[in-house]
Amino acid sequence: MVKQITAAEAAAMIKPGSRLAIGGFLAAGAPETIIDALVEKNIGDLHIIVIASDWEDRGVGKLVVNRLVKSAQVSHLGTNKAIQAQMNAGEIQIELVPQGTLMERVRAFGAGLGGVLTPTGLGTVVEEGKQIVKVDGKDYIIEPAIASDFAIIRAHKADKLGNLTFSKTSRNSNPIMAMAGKITIAEVDEIVEIGELDPEQVCCPGVFVNYILKTGEV
Amino acid sequence: MANDKRSMIGARIAKELKDGDYVNLGIGLPTEAVNHIPPGVHVVFQSENGMLGVGPNPPAGSEDKDLVNAGGGYITALPGASYFDSATSFAIIRGGHIDITVLGALQVDQEGNLANWMIPGKMVPGMGGAMDLVTGAKKVIVAMEHCDKYGNPKVLKKCNLPLTAKGKVSVIITDMAVMELREEGLVLCEIAEGLTVEEVVQATEADLVIPCVINRF
């Protein structure tokens, strides 16, 4: 059984300075209730691992605007002027990671791998300082796994074992981030009894999930 | 960009898409192609946030916050659509399962190099999914205005902005010309109605290979 908690309890668990893998893609499928609780409790010095920095008033953008983020591994900043301003002022450290590489590095950590080999980034600044290896005559960059302390994600339904279903394109990075959290907290639209989810519909098995809470329940 | 130019580029991109192709269109100008797909040609559009079978924008009032494209805009799902997570989405992209990707560019050069993700000191939006797309798609098409807003060429001998990928571009479609990367170099295949070859060459820094026959588009 996973434990059902409130967003305030989730935020209390997350200490300043934690590394957070956060689900969502331009705020679609972002765990807004947990993000709001982190802002409310002013949990700062965070390192975030996320596809995009979203908008100033949606998704992880709210953490950035409230200056709770000290560093980020992220693939896209284009929709959030605040993060670009903080980066230019040297107030936030950014590692830009190609989106597919980011997903595989996060997945690798959750899957017990040290990293992945990818051709993405060859011949660009992404390969700088990294080891390049040949497999079957082709070059690949060695990209190390990305560790996180907590994954905070959003799903559609959870049963009380933490099995999750998702809705349309709000699935995106959520099942991947869920794998990588040493502790994974999922906020969901609906919590159902064990047996109510069709096992064929489960896109994130409950083994990856530790805590669940309902969206909007502070 | 004027609407007629957008439409012209969109129509020309659409001619590259064949029945049955799996296609990923970059945000902005490349999406103009969806308005010009000829009848009888069925292509499956991918959105890299985790979907195949992207349909048109929904009518006002029926938007679904859980159904968006990679630019965050509301979309619909066509019959036969599928949803998947981001790792699967990029396995599709990087693994060579996308037939064509069409992307915008800041610069592109005669060696097929593309720069479209940052201007140091000015603008750093990040590469998002572009590096994976350009690395993995079977065919990479760049669609853009031929010159920047100051009239400077964007088709160069060598890109001087940070690259998105090296030597992966195969076709460049602009409001002035269609160029293809071939063994002999960057070939000027087509020019827009009303232009002369000299005008295109003048607006291009790259060395263009000029064939005997150049079509109009």
Place B169 in a pLDDT band, splitting at 50, 70 and 90.
very high
B48 is catalytic: yes
Measured in residues, chain A has a length of 218
Measured in residues, chain B has a length of 217
Q: What is the pLDDT along chain A (218 residues), one digit of tens a residue?
A: 899 999 999 999 999 999 999 999 999 999 999 999 999 999 999 999 999 999 999 999 999 999 999 999 999 999 999 999 999 999 999 999 999 999 999 999 999 999 999 999 999 999 999 999 999 999 999 999 999 999 999 999 999 999 999 999 999 999 999 999 999 999 999 999 999 999 999 999 999 999 999 999 88
Place B122 in a pLDDT band, splitting at 50, 70 and 90.
confident
Q: Which of A29, A75, A100 sits opposite B94 (nearest CB)?
A: A100
Residues of A in contact with B98 (CB under 8 A): none
Cβ pair A52:B128 closer than 8 A: yes
Please report whether residue B123 resides in a domain.
yes
pLDDT of residue B69: 92
Instruction: Count A/B contacts: CB-CB distance under 8 Å.
Output: 137
Place B217 in a pLDDT band, splitting at 50, 70 and 90.
very high
Mean predicted confidence (pLDDT) in B33-48: 93
pLDDT of residue A162: 98
- Taking only residues 36 to 75 of chain B, the set having a beta carbon closer than 8 angstroms to any beta carbon of chain A reads 47-51, 64-72
- The pTM of this model reads 0.96
Token pair for residue A166?
Answer: 């998702």
**Residue showing tokens 């619909």:** B76
pLDDT of residue B175: 96
Cβ pair B125:A25 closer than 8 A: no
Q: Residue B191 forms beta bridges with which residues?
A: B177, B216
Contact predicate B58/A161, CB 8 Å: no
User: Taking the CB of residue A40, how many other CB atoms lie within 10 A of it?
Assistant: 13
Is the Cβ of A195 closer than 8 Å to some Cβ of chain B? no
Sign of CA dihedral B169, B2, B198, B203: negative
Give B17→chain A minimum CA distance, Å: 24
Please report whether residue B194 resides in a domain.
no
Question: Do strands A138-144 and A115-118 pair parallel, antiparallel, or not at all (unpaired)?
Answer: antiparallel
| Domain at A3-113+145-214: CATH code | 3.40.1080.10
pLDDT in tens, B105-115: 999 999 999 99
Cβ pair A122:B128 closer than 8 A: no
Which amino acid would we find at residue A162? G
> Into how many domains does chain B fold?
1
ipTM value for the complex: 0.96
pLDDT of residue B195: 96
Please report whether residue B51 resides in a domain.
yes
Which comes out higher in pLDDT, residue B211 or B28?
B211
Q: Which parts of A30-168 are beta strand (E)?
A: 46-52, 69-76, 93-96, 115-118, 132-135, 138-144, 148-159, 164-165
> For testing the chain A interface, which of B54, B85, B160 should be mutated: the one with the most A CBs within 10 Å?
B85
Place B117 in a pLDDT band, splitting at 50, 70 and 90.
very high
> Structural domain boundaries of chain A?
3-113+145-214
Phi first, then psi: what are they for B206, rounded to 5°?
A: -60, 155
Please report whether residue B182 resides in a domain.
no
Domain range spanning residue B33?
3-177
How far apart, in Å, are the Cα atoms of B57 and each of A122, B2, B3, B66?
36, 22, 19, 13
What residues have CB less than 8 Å from A77, skipping those under 6 apart? A52, A53, A83, A84, A87, A94, A96, B124, B125, B126
pLDDT in tens, B8-31: 999 999 999 999 999 999 988 898
- Taking only residues 100 to 119 of chain B, the set having a beta carbon closer than 8 angstroms to any beta carbon of chain A reads 113
Cβ pair A173:B85 closer than 8 A: yes
Please report whether residue B150 resides in a domain.
yes
Please report whether residue B214 resides in a domain.
no
Residue B1 has pLDDT above 80, yes or no: no
Residues of A in contact with B70 (CB under 8 A): 25-26
Distance, CA of A132 to CA of B190 (rounded, Å): 39
CATH number for the domain spanning B44: value is 3.40.1080.10
Average pLDDT over chain B reads 95
Please report whether residue B196 resides in a domain.
no
